[in-house]
Structure 1
Amino acid sequence: MMVSAFFWIALTCCFQIISGNEPAIIHTNLGDIQGYETDMARVFYGIPFAQPPVDTLRWQPSVPVGKWAPQVLNATIPAPACPQSPSCTPSIVCPTIFSEDCLYLNVFTPLLSSLSSTALLPVMIFITGGNFQSYFASGPIYQAERFANTNNVICVFIQYRLGILGFFAIGRGPNDIKGNYGILDQHLTIAWVKANIAAFGGDPDQTLKRFPPDKSGDQRSLLSSIATEWVFVCSTRVFARKTPSYSYVFRYPLDFNAWENMSYCNNHACHAVELPFLFETAWPNTTDTGRWLSKSMATYWTNFAKTQDPNKPEIVRVEWPRTIIGNEKYIYFQNPIQIEANYMKDDCDFWDTIGYKVHDF
């Protein structure tokens, strides 16, 4: 996988209890926003970045939200998830409240930083996975208070239209539904962050977007090894040869039970299992080894957000080499962390002979 890859998993944790937390107020050009302060971070849930995509705005490009001043926006409660199938697994990461009015984002800022400080922090935008059909930005695994505070970065988690409301298309004519509205939502979110994140103490010119490669599930009975190689592993290698990249393989299994009835993931590293380790949301349930791995991953990722190099400014035990043609090394996240090379080379060489093309339907 690339340094920009990953995503979904169950985690046994619960939402932050916000009663009793101190209020946190920030001032934007759109109006004031009230979040709250925990013992680790400042949290702002449910900030609108677009007008509700309903009625005449359904199946239309998202429209920027207008000012709400002089009212103060209540950003202490997660927004509803975008409409999606109720047959979502694992249930711990699945929403229970839905609305077409769902274009919102969440922001986590470090407690150690000052909202009035002139030293702006790096910003990491996370675009949730789910095969463009499932999940939401306020799941337990995205409670990034520890991650933001211990690594001194700002985290933004966004929602976008899913399924038929986000990607339905019937043609290319002037009056046709053209699709990809979920992607347009993502673009508008990034524009909102660029325009407003300085009010939260973030640097609009130092923003790292994170977008997971995704799949609909672990269909292991249906040629899963072939699909994994061709769709994820080998196509990632093609990408890495064309742009500066840092590649990784994650093989550390969850050392606590969080997979509900998906027993095939117990003691294995399934799709997106690295996510709770990266965002340090696994800390209450994992072992000392798991916490060490979690902290190591968080350091690599936030180093990259700060300097475009995962090895600095914070010191790392194992230097993560850059992936280049002829030296396709990658970091292997397990215990201990290792550097290896040419992941699944023979298989990927075979798929390269077949090639990868973009088809226009």
Structure 2
Amino acid sequence: MSTQFETEPSSDVDGAEPVAQTAHGRVRGRWNGQVATWRSIPYAAAPAGPNRFRPPRSPQSWEGIRDCVTFGDIAPQTMGNMVPVDSDLRMGEDCLWLNVWAPRRAIETREPRPVMVWLHGGAYCLGTAAQGIYDGRKLVEAGDVVIVGVNYRLGALGFLDLSSLSDDFTPNLGLLDQIAALEWVRDNIAAFGGDPGNVTVFGESSGAGCVTALLTSPRSAGLFHRAIAESPPATTVFGQERAAGVAQRFLELLELPAARAIELLECPLDRIVSAAGVLLDEVPLKEPGRLAAAPVVDGDLIPSYPIDQFQRGRSHRVPLIIGTNKDEASLFRVFRSPIMPVTPDAVNVMLRDVAANHPELSHERIAEITSAYPDLDKTRGALAMSTDAAFRMPAHWVSDAHATHSPTWMYRFDQATPMLKAARVGAGHATELPYVFGNFGTFNHDPTFWLGGRKVATEVSGRMMRRWLAFATHGVPAAIDGSKHWPPYHPATRTTLLIDAIDRVVDNPDREQHTAWGEQAVGFS
């Protein structure tokens, strides 16, 4: 984390880099055209030593002006090719920071602008807010909003529940970090031109899973006013009994008896990261469809399974955009990632595990689900089943429930460049991200355009950005640009926007899957 300070304050706007006053001290960013950017502003103290597995604490205040122009530590993690991270970034425990992008006009006029808070994905164990794909500048330029990107604890340090070992360990630390960041936004974002009364939380993959969890957490009530969940694994939340078993296995990998679990507080980071890397691969290989690290029902932050909370009408009363990508599982096949089952054998193991976890499910019900996938013995059928089990159906179960009391919009992202189609990736997991942020690579550094398609992709991106921005500003994704009207989602019609080269609105595009899976949510406990 940068710790350079000035003793003399500088001008906030004219003739100087942008400076904002936070509750803990002044922070200086940089101008990039008409957008001010701050990197790695601390929203909490470094969770190290005795606080390694504890809830986030307020950062120490500082004198003078803190330079926030370079990225600080990213959350400790096992690097992989699924989530590209700049090699210049370093891992460390001083990783509870956020980035802010704000329009010059909002800073100069003090006219508060809508705020969008981004939670990155990465299977609860990978990624960082420092990834270039999440740069918020183009969204700010397109929508006159303030963008905040949140860095939070991951893997063993953020989403592995070790509370069964000792009172020194707190569950759901990554979620607690995100809540602390949202509280920071509430208390400080006005200094950056943002409106604390108009906050949209949005995320993708596990970041979207955090969004659906926060939508059902009493602790997050009032901290955001709209939500966007892109490909949320909404049923990937586990019970304490299973969490205790995973915690025990983590200790075994570290060759620590349970009686010495307290030593984790001083264990070298590289040992923790190494053991977590083994665990994070081992669990989905042994139990396809499961993750080692994920949110856990703790009876407090997460009172019960979020999908149950949704279906009981207990989600926060805020407008919601939610959706999935047409070919979610394809990317996991390409990268040979164990995170999702993508072979017929692995999918069959997953189905047996689902049946074992849900004794109330009859053999007839399981048979009905599998009947919707006649080519389940082929890779294509396995990918479709995996997509629906992990993402498509959970998103629909959330939508069906949330739409009974709050405005809800459902989308399916179908857009794919010619290269992605040729590579049999299609609209794979996370492929909507450059469209949402407007951050496509250059020709030499973006292989997705090697067979063309940039013009169409740019047009699709413009429409998506305008819809997301209109939603953040007005609570309705109605882009005033002649785009196709996007009607709200209702359980009776399941009206869905299919985002492609030409957008279409279709009622219940996944009717066969709905019929097969039914309305009772199926997940892992």
TM-score category (smaller protein): 0.7 to 0.9
> 1:275: which partner in 2?
433
Tell me if 1:253 matches 2:253: no
After TM superposition, list the pairs within 5 Å mapping 1:287-302 onto structure 2.
287-302=454-469
> 2:129: which partner in 1?
137
Q: CA–CA distance in 2 between the matches of 1:249 and 1:85?
A: 31
Q: Provide, for residues 57-85 of structure 1, a one-character-per-residue CA deviation record: whole Å limited to 9, x for no partner.
A: 110011121322x2211110012210000
After TM superposition, list the pairs within 5 Å mapping 1:69-148 onto structure 2.
70-91=63-84, 96-111=89-104, 113-148=105-140
Q: Is the 8 A contact 2:38 2:100 kept in 1?
A: yes
After TM superposition, list the pairs within 5 Å mapping 1:326-341 onto structure 2.
326-341=492-507
Q: Is the 8 A contact 1:304 1:310 kept in 2?
A: yes
Tell me if 1:64 matches 2:58: yes
Q: Provide, for residues 167-210 of structure 1, a one-character-per-residue CA deviation record: whole Å limited to 9, x for no partner.
A: 23234587252321111001100000010000000000100011
After TM superposition, list the pairs within 5 Å mapping 1:186-197 onto structure 2.
186-197=178-189
Higher-Rg structure is: 2
Letter in 2 for 1:224: L
Q: Is the 8 A contact 2:75 2:128 kept in 1?
A: yes
Deviation at 1:304, TM superposition (A): 0.5
Structure 1 residues 289, 353: closer, same or farther in 2, change over 3 A? closer
Letter in 2 for 1:66: Q
Tell me if 1:212 matches 2:370: no
Deviation at 1:232, TM superposition (A): 1.0
TM-score, normalised to structure 1's length? 0.84
Structure 1 residues 176, 32: closer, same or farther in 2, change over 3 A? closer
> 2:353: which partner in 1?
none
> 1:38: which partner in 2?
32
> 2:478: which partner in 1?
311
Q: Unmatched 5+ residue regions in structure 1?
A: 1-20
Q: CA–CA distance in 2 between the matches of 1:205 and 1:198?
A: 10
Structure 1 residues 256, 74: closer, same or farther in 2, change over 3 A? farther
> 1:48: which partner in 2?
42
Q: CA–CA distance in 2 between the matches of 1:211 and 1:143?
A: 14
Q: Unmatched 5+ residue regions in structure 2?
A: 1-14, 207-232, 234-290, 292-330, 333-339, 347-381, 444-448
Q: Provide, for residues 213-265 of structure 1, a one-character-per-residue CA deviation record: whole Å limited to 9, x for no partner.
A: 337761433433212112211111111112231111111114678x9xx9543
Q: Is the 8 A contact 2:106 2:112 kept in 1?
A: no
Structure 1 residues 80, 46: closer, same or farther in 2, change over 3 A? same
> 1:324: which partner in 2?
490
Letter in 1 for 2:492: G
Deviation at 1:294, TM superposition (A): 0.8
Q: CA–CA distance in 2 between the matches of 1:125 and 1:296?
A: 20
Q: CA–CA distance in 1 between the matches of 2:515 and 2:521?
A: 10
Q: CA–CA distance in 1 between the matches of 2:441 and 2:84?
A: 20
Q: Provide, for residues 301-359 of structure 1, a one-character-per-residue CA deviation record: whole Å limited to 9, x for no partner.
A: 010011110015x3442111110021211111111111112122111221126633673
Q: CA–CA distance in 1 between the matches of 2:77 and 2:396?
A: 32
Q: CA–CA distance in 1 between the matches of 2:467 and 2:169?
A: 42
Structure 1 residues 82, 44: closer, same or farther in 2, change over 3 A? same
Q: Is the 8 A contact 2:38 2:99 kept in 1?
A: yes
- The aligned length equals 331
Q: Provide, for residues 269-319 of structure 1, a one-character-per-residue CA deviation record: whole Å limited to 9, x for no partner.
A: 11011111110111755622211111110000010011110015x344211
Higher relative contact order (CA 8 A, sep 6+): 1
Letter in 1 for 2:56: S
Structure 1 residues 49, 61: closer, same or farther in 2, change over 3 A? same
Q: CA–CA distance in 2 between the matches of 1:343 and 1:213?
A: 21
Q: Is the 8 A contact 2:39 2:68 kept in 1?
A: yes
Q: Which of 387, 390, 393 lines up with 1:231 in the alignment?
A: 390
Letter in 1 for 2:507: A
Structure 1 residues 166, 44: closer, same or farther in 2, change over 3 A? same
Q: CA–CA distance in 2 between the matches of 1:178 and 1:103?
A: 16
Deviation at 1:107, TM superposition (A): 0.5
Q: CA–CA distance in 2 between the matches of 1:131 and 1:343?
A: 27
Deviation at 1:24, TM superposition (A): 1.4
Q: Is the 8 A contact 2:54 2:168 kept in 1?
A: no
Q: Which of 188, 203, 206 lines up with 2:195 in the alignment?
A: 203
Q: CA–CA distance in 2 between the matches of 1:250 and 1:96?
A: 31
Q: CA–CA distance in 1 between the matches of 2:477 and 2:397?
A: 21
Q: CA–CA distance in 2 between the matches of 1:60 and 1:180?
A: 10
Letter in 1 for 2:389: W
Deviation at 1:93, TM superposition (A): 6.5
State the secondary structure of the residue aligned to 1:281.
Answer: coil
Aligned-residue RMSD, C-alpha: 2.5
Deviation at 1:40, TM superposition (A): 4.3
Q: Is the 8 A contact 1:124 1:208 kept in 2?
A: yes
State the secondary structure of the residue aligned to 1:349.
Answer: helix
Letter in 2 for 1:299: R
State the secondary structure of the residue aligned to 2:130.
Answer: coil
Q: CA–CA distance in 2 between the matches of 1:95 and 1:131?
A: 22
TM-score, normalised to structure 2's length? 0.59
| Deviates further, 134-143 or 38-47 | 38-47
